Chain A
Amino acid sequence: MRIRSPLLLGILIVSFGLGGCGKNGSANLAASGGKGTDNGRQIWHVGNGTEPQDLDPQAITGVPEHKLMMALFEGLASEDPKDLHPVPGLAEKWEISPDGRVYTFHLRPNGKWSDGSPITAADCVQSYRRILTPNFASEYAYLVYDYVVGAKEFYDGKLKDFSQVGFKALDDHTLQVTLKNASPYLMKIIGSHYAWTPVPVRVIAKYGPLDQKRTPWTKPGRLVASGPFQLKEWLPNQKIVVTRNPNYWDAANVKLDEIHFYPTEDISTEERMFRTGQLHKTNELPNAKIDAYRREFPEFLRMEPYLGVYFYRCNVSRPPLTDKRVRKALALAIDRESLVKNVTRGGQRPAYAVSYPDTAGYVPRAKLTGGLAEAKRLLAEAGFPDGKGFPSIELLYNTSENHRAIAEAIQQMWKRNLGVDITLLNQEWKVYLDSQHTKNFTLQRGGWIADYVDPHVFLEIWVTDNGNNDTNWSNAGYDRLFLQTLAAKDDQERYEIYQKMDAILVDECPIIPIYHYNRIYAMSPKVKGYYPTLLDNHPYKYIYLEK
C-alpha cells in the first residue's frame, strides 16, 4: 500500500500535467505558417459563435446571424471593407433631398436574386411591409419605424393602408423613402443593419404566409439570396456552408469559393480547432490564451478596437447611489490601467467617458478626472469619510469567467482605495436581464455594442424614456440636448451637442464607464483582404486565402 497511493497520485499528476505539453501542438501551427487554401480551393473556415436562430434577416437578432447575413444578403447600401462607410450595394446610387427627408434609391438594372429573377423596387417595398407587419413581430422593426413616415402608425395597427407609409416604388428600379425627420445617420443603418435588407418576398410566399415567422423558406435549396454567396448546406449545430452566388452583380470580384461557418459555442474548443487547422479564424480567444499567443505566435493574434463600452450601471434610486458624489467617487476609484493590463489583458482602452474615443470623427472631450484624491474627497463630502458608514451594496453580473474576474478586481480596488465593501452576485443570463429591465439591482455590469458607426448609439440610450436606460436616471437638460441633435443641420453641429451630453454623463455618472472593447481572436496570416473594422464587419467579397 505504501507504494500504491503515491503511484496512483503520480498517474493522476502525469495525466493532469499532459496539458503542459500542448504547446508542442501549437508549435506545428506556427511552423506551417497557418492554414491557407484547401488544396488550392478558396474555402474559408470560420468560427461563428453560436448556432444561428434563423437565416431570415427580418426574424433574427444576434451577431452570429449578422455574420451570415453579410454573406447571403446585401442591403440597398453595403459597407466599405476598411471603414464601413456606406457604399453602393443593391442600389448603384442614391440621392438625398436638401431637407434630408426624401431618399431616392436607384437599384441596379442587372440586380438579380440567386434564382435569376430581378431585384425590383416592388420587392423592397414588400420587404418593408413585411418587417412592419404587426403580426410578424420583428424585433428590429423599430430601426425602420423610427424613421419612415407612417411606419409607426402601420406597425401599431392604426394605419391599415400600407400605401400611405413612406415607401414608394417609382418604377421597377427606383425606390423612394420619405422620412419623418432628417436623420443624418440613417444611411449608416441602411448600410450596416440587416433590418433594412430586402428579402425575396415572392419566394417566402411560396412556403407560407408572409406574416408568419415559421415559414420554412430559409432551408437549403429554398433560400434565395441577394448577396455574394448563397446557401449550400445547413447542418444545425455543426456548420453552415455558403457558396458563390453566380447571379450576384459583382460576382466577378468575389474571391472565395465557399465559406464554412462553425457555431463554436465553447471558445476553448474553438481555439483547439484553430490549432489543429480546422479553422482559419476563431470568433473569440479565451482570456488565458492571450499571453501565450502574444509570446509564441503573435502573427496569429488579432486584437482590434471594437465599438462598444463596458460599464457598471447605477440604480440611482437606491441609496447611497442616489448621491452623484458617491457614484463619481466609485467611478474615480477604479484603476482602469491596471485592470486592462492585468485582468482583461486584451489591449482594451480604459474608458474615462461613455462615448468611444473616436467614432466617425467624434472624440469626446469630457473625462473623469481627479483620481483617487478626488474620489476620497467626494465620498467624505457625501457623508462616508474613508468608507465609514457606507452600506453594503451588491454588484450584479451575469455568470462568466471574465465578468467575475473584473468584478473581483474592482471590489478589491474599492475596498482598498475607498474602504467601501460591496458584495458580488452572479445570475444566469436571462435572470440577470430580468433584474436589469425591472431595475432590481443596485450596481450592475452592462455593455453596449454599436450596430453602426455613429456616436449617437452610445448617447441615445440614457435619454429618460429609452428602453435601455435602466438606471432610473433622468435629466431634463440631457433629454433636451438629445432632441437638438435630431434637428442639427450637419455633423459638426451635432457632434458639439454630443460633447455637452458626454460632459453631463461624466458629471452625473449614472453609469460608470470601465473600458472600451477590443475584438480578440486568432486568425491565420494567410487570410488576406481582411481589415480591422470598428464593428467587426468584414465584407466577404474582398477576402481571399493564400496557399
Chain B
Amino acid sequence: MFRFITTRFFQSLLALFVVISATFFMVRFVPGGPFTAEKAVTPEILRNLEAHYGLDKPLWRQYLDYLGSLMRGDLGPSFKYPNRTVNEIIGDKLPVSAELGLLSLGIALVGGITLGTLAAIKRNTWADYLASGFGMIGISVPTFVVGPLFVLAFAIHLGWFNASGWYTSADRVLPALVLGIAYAAPISRLTRGGMLEVLHQDFIRTARAKGASEARVVLRHALRGGLLPVVSYLGPAVAGILTGSFVIETIFQIPGIGREFVTSAFNRDYTLVLGTVILYAVLIMALNLVVDIVQAWLNPKVQLEA
C-alpha cells in the first residue's frame, strides 16, 4: 500500500508537470492577451504593460521564472485584478466552492445511491419507474434551467429565500439543491446499472441461499460491487463539484472558484488560468488515487498495481 501510494505520487508529480507546461504554452498561443481591450491601448502603453508584467522576456525565460516561483508556492499576480495574487484568489474562493460542493455532494450521494439502489432491487415496479424517472429528468433538464426555475418558484413566487447571494445559511439551500440534484441524477442511474449487474451474480445467490436477510444482502454484498461504476464516476465528479460550478455560481452570485475556471480563460489572465488548472489537476489526481484504493477495498479481486 505504502509503495503503491509513493509510486503513484511521483507519477502524478510528473503528470502535473506535463499539465503545467502544456497549459503555460497553450494559453500563450490563444489570440488576444490580458490587455486586449475594445479601446485599443497604444503601442507605447502596451510595451510598458508587458514590461511591467515581465511579458517582454522570451517565453522560455518566463516559463522558467514561473516554475521557479511555483517551487516557492507562489502562483504569481493576477493580470485582471492587479491588487490580488492568484494565491489570494484561490484562498478566498476555494473554501466557498468547497462548502457548496460538500453540501451538494451529500445530497447527490444520499439521494442518488438510495434512488439507484431502490430502482435496482424493485426493478420494473412503480418504485423503479419513479426513481428512474427522477434520474432521467435530472439528466435532461440542465442546471441553467433548474436554477432559475427554483429561484422563480422559491424566491420570487413563494418568497422563502433570497434570489441570490451567499451571506446566510438560508442562501446555501437553493444552490446546494440544484447542484445536488444535477449530480444525484447520473449517480442514481449508474447505481441502478451497477447494482443490476451484481444482483444476480453467484455470490449474491449464495448469500441469499444461506438465508441472509435482503437488507444484509443489498447493503453488505451487492452495494460493494454495484458501486464500482459510481466510484469511477465520482473521482472526476468530486473534483468538479468541489471546485465549483460556473453556472450555479453565476445564477446564485456565489463568490466561488468555479467561475474563475471559465472567466480567467476569457480574460486571458494567464497566471490565474494556470493557478486554477493546477488546483484542478491536483484534485483530479488525488481523487483518482483515492478511487483506485476504494475500488480495491470494495472488490478484493481488484489489486493495486503500481
Q: Point out residues on A near B: beta carbons under 8 Å.
A: 4, 8, 11-12, 15-16, 18-19, 21-22, 24-26, 28, 51, 53-56, 59, 61, 134-139, 141-142, 155-156, 213-219, 235-238, 262, 264-266, 268-269, 272-273, 275-276, 278, 428-431, 433-435, 437, 447, 467-468, 470
Inter-subunit contact B251/A269 (CB<8 Å): yes
What chain A residues lie within 8 Å of B133 (beta carbons)? 4, 8, 11
A residues near B82, Cβ cutoff 8 Å: 53-54, 56, 59, 213-214
Kindly supply a per-residue 1/0 record for chain B positions 15-46, scoring 1 wherever the CB is within 8 Å of any chain A CB and 0 otherwise: 00000000000000011110111111111110
Least distance between B50 CB and chain A CB atoms (Å): 8
CB distance from B51 to the nearest CB of A (A): 7
CA distance A276 to B161 in the complex (A): 9
- Chain B residues, CB < 8 A from A155: 44, 48
For the complex of A and B, the 9 pairs showing the least CB-CB separation, nearest first, are A430-B32, A25-B156, A237-B255, A137-B48, A434-B31, A272-B163, A213-B82, A434-B32, A137-B49
Contact of B137 with A21 in the complex, beta carbons under 8 Å? no
| Distance in angstroms between the alpha carbons of A4 and B125 in the assembled complex | 12
Query: In the complex, A278 Cα to B52 Cα: how many Å?
Result: 40
Are the CB atoms of B152 and A430 closer together than 8 Å? no
Q: Does B172 contact A (CB under 8 A)?
A: no
Residues of chain B with a CB closer than 8 A to A139's CB: 35, 37, 41, 45, 49
CA distance A272 to B136 in the complex (A): 28
Q: Which residues of chain B have C-beta atoms less than 8 A from A216's C-beta?
A: 83
* Chain B neighbourhood of A24, CB < 8 A: 157
Interchain CA distance A11-B157 in the complex, whole Å: 19
Which of B44, B89, B129, B266 is the most central at the interface, judged by chain A CB atoms within 10 Å of its CB? B44
Interface residues of B in 159-206 (CB under 8 A from A): 159, 162-167
* Chain A residues whose CB sits within 8 angstroms of the CB of B157 once the complex forms: 18, 21-22, 24-25
Task: Give the A-binding residues of B (Cβ under 8 A).
Answer: 30-33, 35-45, 48-49, 51-52, 77, 80-85, 89, 92-93, 129, 133, 136-137, 141, 145, 148-149, 151-153, 155-157, 159, 162-167, 250-255, 259, 266-268
| The one of B40, B136, B148, B251 that contacts A468, using a Cβ cutoff of 8 Å | B40
Inside 8 A of A235's CB, which chain B residues have their CB?
255
**Are A269 and B163 closer than 8 Å at their CB atoms?**
yes
Chain A positions within 8 Å of B36 at CB level: 430, 433-434, 437
**In the complex, are the beta carbons of A25 and B251 less than 8 A apart?**
no
Tell which of B137, B149, B156, B267 touches A8, judged by Cβ atoms closer than 8 Å: B137
Closest to A50 in B: B263
| Measured CA separation A142–B148 after assembly (Å) | 44
Nearest-CB residue, chain B, relative to A435: B31
Q: Chain B's nearest CB lies how many Å from the CB of A78?
A: 23
- Residues of chain A with a CB closer than 8 A to B136's CB: 8
Is the CB–CB distance between A272 and B156 below 8 Å? yes
Does the CB pair A236–B92 fall under 8 Å?
Answer: yes
Whole-angstrom distance between the alpha carbons of A22 and B265 in the complex?
A: 35
Given contacts A137-B45, A265-B250, contact A15 B141 (CB under 8 A): yes
Distance (whole angstroms) from the CB of A4 to the closest CB of chain B = 6
Task: Write the nearest CB–CB distance from A522 to chain B, whole angstroms.
Answer: 13
Complex CA gap A216/B87 in Å reads 14
Q: What are 8 A-B residue pairs whose CB atoms fall within 8 Å in the complex?
A: A16-B145, A19-B148, A59-B82, A61-B39, A136-B52, A216-B83, A235-B255, A264-B253
**Contact with B32, one of A16, A236, A431 (Cβ below 8 angstroms):** A431
Question: Are B152 and A21 within 8 A (Cβ)?
Answer: yes
The answer to whether B152 touches A12, judged by C-beta atoms less than 8 angstroms apart, is no
In the bound complex, residues from chain B placing their C-beta under 8 Å from that of A19 are 148-149, 152
**Is the beta-carbon distance between B151 and A272 smaller than 8 angstroms?**
yes
Give CA–CA (A236, B84) in the complex, Å: 10
CA distance A275 to B148 in the complex (A): 13
Distance between B91 CB and nearest chain A CB, rounded to angstroms: 11
For the complex with contacts A25-B155, A236-B255, 19 further pairs of A-B residues with Cβ separation under 8 Å are A4-B133, A21-B152, A21-B157, A22-B156, A136-B52, A137-B45, A137-B51, A139-B45, A214-B85, A215-B83, A217-B83, A235-B255, A236-B84, A237-B259, A266-B250, A268-B148, A272-B148, A272-B152, A276-B159
Bound complex: CA A533 to CA B136 (Å): 51
Known: A19-B149, A54-B83, A214-B83. A134 touches B48 (CB 8 A): yes
> Given the complex, which residues of A lie within 8 Å of B151, measured CB to CB?
269, 272
Closest chain B CB from A12 CB (angstroms): 6
Q: A residues within 8 A CB of B48?
A: 134-137, 155
Assembled-state Cα–Cα distance A18/B254 (Å): 24
